[in-house]
Amino acid sequence: MFKLCEFQELTITRFKEFGALLRENIHDEKSVLLPRKEIPEGAEIGERIRVFIYLDSRDRPIATTAKPLITLDQVKVLKVSDVTKIGLFLDWGLPKDLMLPFHEINGRPEKGDDVLVRLYIDKSGRPAATMRHLYHYLRTDSPYQKDDTVSGRIYEFGHDFGTFVAVDDIFSGMIPRHEDVSSYKIGDVLTLRVTEVKPDGKLTLTTRKDAYLELDDDGAKIMSIIDSYAGVLPFTEKASPEVIKRETGLSKAAFKRAIGHLYKERKITLEGGRIRKVGQ
Return the pLDDT at 75: 97
Residues of the chain with CATH 1.10.10.10: 211-277
CATH no., domain 211-277: 1.10.10.10
Residues of the chain with CATH 2.40.50.140: 7-64, 75-132, 139-206
Cα–Cα distance list, 54 to 32, 192, 197, 230 (Å) = 10, 37, 38, 64
Distance of CA 241 to the CA centre of its chain: 29
CATH for the 7-64 domain, from 3.20.20.80, 3.40.50.1010, 1.10.3720.10, 2.40.50.140: 2.40.50.140
What crossing angle do the helices spanning 241-248 and 211-228 adopt, rounded to 10°? 80
What's the rounded Cα separation, in Å, for the pair 205 and 137? 19
Q: Domain 75-132 falls in which CATH fold?
A: OB fold (Dihydrolipoamide Acetyltransferase, E2P) (2.40.50)
Question: Sheet containing 75-83: which strands, arranged edge to edge?
Answer: 98-101, 87-91, 75-83, 114-121, 127-130
pLDDT tens for the chain, residues 1 to 280? 688 999 999 999 999 999 999 998 767 778 999 999 999 999 999 999 999 999 998 999 999 999 999 999 999 999 999 999 989 999 999 999 999 999 999 999 999 999 999 999 999 999 999 999 999 999 999 999 998 999 999 999 987 889 999 999 999 999 998 888 888 999 999 999 999 999 999 999 998 765 545 566 788 888 888 888 888 888 888 888 888 888 888 888 888 888 888 888 888 888 777 888 887 5
**231 vs 223: CA distance, rounded Å:** 8
Q: Report the pLDDT value the prediction gives residue 259, as an integer from 0 to 100.
A: 85
pLDDT of residue 214: 58
Q: What would the 3-class secondary structure string for 36-66 be?
A: HHHCCCCCCCCCEEEEEEEECCCCCEEEECC
- pTM of the predicted model, to two decimals? 0.74
Judge whether 138 and 170 are in contact, CB under 8 Å.
yes
What pLDDT does residue 1 have? 67
- The H-or-E segment that residue 262 falls in is helix 252-264
- The Cα–Cα gap between 138 and 164 comes to 11
CA distances from 256 to 33, 87, 182, 232, 262 (A): 68, 48, 22, 17, 10
Superfamily of segment(s) 139-206 = Nucleic acid-binding proteins (2.40.50.140)
Q: Which of 92, 97, 94 is nearest to 76 (CA)?
A: 92
Q: Is 265 exposed, middle or buried (0-12, 13-18, 19+ CB in 10 A)?
A: exposed
Please answer whether residues 51 and 67 qualify as being in contact, where contact means their C-beta atoms are separated by less than 8 angstroms. Answer: no
CA distances (Å), origin 108, targets 89, 99, 104 = 13, 15, 11
Q: Identify the bridge partners of residue 90 per DSSP, sorted by sequence position.
A: 80, 98
Pairing status of strand 48-55 against strand 61-64: antiparallel
Give the Cα separation of 278 and 168 in Å (integer): 46
Residue 38, CA atoms < 13 Å, CB-side half-sphere: 20
